[in-house]
Amino acid sequence: MTSRRDFLAGAALSWSALQQLIKDNGIVNSILDKQKPKQMILATWKNIHAVEASWETLQKGKSILDAVEAGARIPEADPLDTSVGYGGFPDRDGVVTLDACIMDSNGNAGSVVYLQDIMHAVSVARKVMEKTPHVILAGEGALRFALENGFQRENLLTPKARKAWEEWLTKSEYKPKINNERHDTIGIIGVDTNGQLSGACTTSGLAFKRHGRVGDSPIIGAGLYVDQQVGAATATGLGEAVLKKVGAFSIVEMMRQGMHPKKACREAIKRLTQIQTTEPFQVGYIAINVKGEWGAFSLLPGFQATLHTDQGLQVIDAESLK
């Protein structure tokens, strides 16, 4: 009778024989390669440095969650980026308030809203996800939690952002304008070679918004949604519009019904036209699915997305409805 040991030795032998066969046989290799999920990072706007940082993190063998966080941290630390983190334009009272969230492949989620004085809101959101039983922390509580977890308190209002606010004050027109042109609020989603998904979204919100205003970006399902069974989606643009239509979640649900990510983004953009408003506004959506397909679509022209695959990095001019 075959002993357990002999059986295991036999199994080990046949495994190494199989590996040899795979090595010897290019066809088998290419079949296996085709079956491997395609790794990919996709971000809103022309966020080249962020996507590069995210991709490099992934290539170092870190998790897809680490990768999207690393990407989101780039614009957060960039004083020239006026839509995210340090250097973000303040609200109409001159206060920089940040919104961010993150989701992992297990459906875990963490978020901070109305956070002040901490540069890396996305990393605080990750800590909320990993260290608390909660999903969202707001304002003073979020700040206290960040400080307890070793984050540094710093002034996020740069001279450039202060100047822009002071100029805005001369008229104080309360029209929180969403830029239709390029800007850099980042939603970043990705899939690794094991098919694991994650996503992150971080912003300083609308420039000169009303103090206390929270947008779509930190709201799970609106600014970001990740479902390991289906795919991931994230949003940029006028948060109020995205919130009303629960943008990211609706895209993932459409993909669940079999829709291609681009078509799902387009359908979600079409739903925005039901919103009653006289002011023109912009929204851009991006999405990926577990098969490694991606899509980007916006309401008005001018939206871009940045994609990194094994083929390299490219900046995409998204199609738009109007």
> In terms of Cα–Cα distance, which of 248, 288, 282 is closest to 268?
248
Q: Tokens in use for 205?
A: 């919100």
* Residue numbers annotated as active site: 185
The phi, psi pair for 3, rounded to 5°, reads -75, 165
Q: Which residue has the tokens 């004085």?
A: 117
Shortest distance in whole angstroms from residue 185 CB to ligand SD4: 3
Decide: helix, strand or coil at residue 263.
Answer: helix
Q: Which of 39, 217, 234, 298 binds ligand SD4 (CB under 6 A)?
A: 217
Shortest distance in whole angstroms from residue 204 CB to ligand SD4: 8
What is the Cα–Cα distance from 184 to 84, expressed in whole angstroms? 7
What is the Cα–Cα distance from 287 to 44, expressed in whole angstroms? 10
Q: Which stretch binds ligand SD4 (CB under 6 A): 68-76, 143-151, 156-164, 201-209?
A: 201-209
Q: Which of 51, 143, 206, 252 binds ligand SD4 (CB under 6 A)?
A: 206
CA-based R_g, the chain, Å: 22
Shortest distance in whole angstroms from residue 184 CB to ligand SD4: 7
Nearer to ligand SD4, 215 or 231 (CB): 215
Residue 46 identity: K
Q: Is 75 in the site for ligand SD4 (CB under 6 A)?
A: no
Residue 86 identity: Y
Question: What string of DSSP letters covers 52-79?
Answer: HHHHHHHHTT--HHHHHHHHHHHHHT-T
Nearer to ligand SD4, 247 or 295 (CB): 247
Q: Is 306 in the site for ligand SD4 (CB under 6 A)?
A: no
Residue 197 forms beta bridges with which residues? 191
Beta strands in 185-257 (DSSP E): 186-191, 197-203, 224-227, 231-237
Nearer to ligand SD4, 38 or 245 (CB): 245
Q: Is 203 in the site for ligand SD4 (CB under 6 A)?
A: yes
Q: Is 185 in the site for ligand SD4 (CB under 6 A)?
A: yes
Judged by CB under 6 A, the number of residues near ligand SD4 is 13
Burial code of 190-200, b = ≥16 C-beta within 10 A, e = fewer? bbbeebbbbbb
Q: Which stretch binds ligand SD4 (CB under 6 A): 34-42, 166-174, 200-208, 299-307?
A: 200-208
Q: Which of 88, 221, 237, 247 binds ligand SD4 (CB under 6 A)?
A: 237
Q: Which of 54, 82, 236, 250 binds ligand SD4 (CB under 6 A)?
A: 236
Q: Which stretch binds ligand SD4 (CB under 6 A): 24-32, 90-98, 132-140, 215-223?
A: 215-223
Binding pattern to ligand SD4, positions 78-107, x when CB under 6 A? -----x------------------------
Shortest distance in whole angstroms from residue 46 CB to ligand SD4: 12
Residue 193 identity: T
Total residues found in the chain within this entry: 322
The phi, psi pair for 100, rounded to 5°, reads -155, 155
Q: Is 215 in the site for ligand SD4 (CB under 6 A)?
A: yes
How far CA 183 is from CA of 2, 8, 89, 116, in Å, comes to 68, 59, 12, 21
Q: Which of residues 238-257 bind ligand SD4 (CB under 6 A)?
A: 238-239
Residue 269 identity: I
Q: Tokens in use for 148?
A: 């307890």
Q: Is 126 in the site for ligand SD4 (CB under 6 A)?
A: no
Q: Which of 88, 190, 199, 205 binds ligand SD4 (CB under 6 A)?
A: 205
> In terms of Cα–Cα distance, which of 80, 156, 83 is closest to 115?
156
Nearer to ligand SD4, 40 or 207 (CB): 207
Q: List residues binding ligand SD4 (CB under 6 A).
A: 83, 183, 185, 203, 205-206, 215-217, 236-239
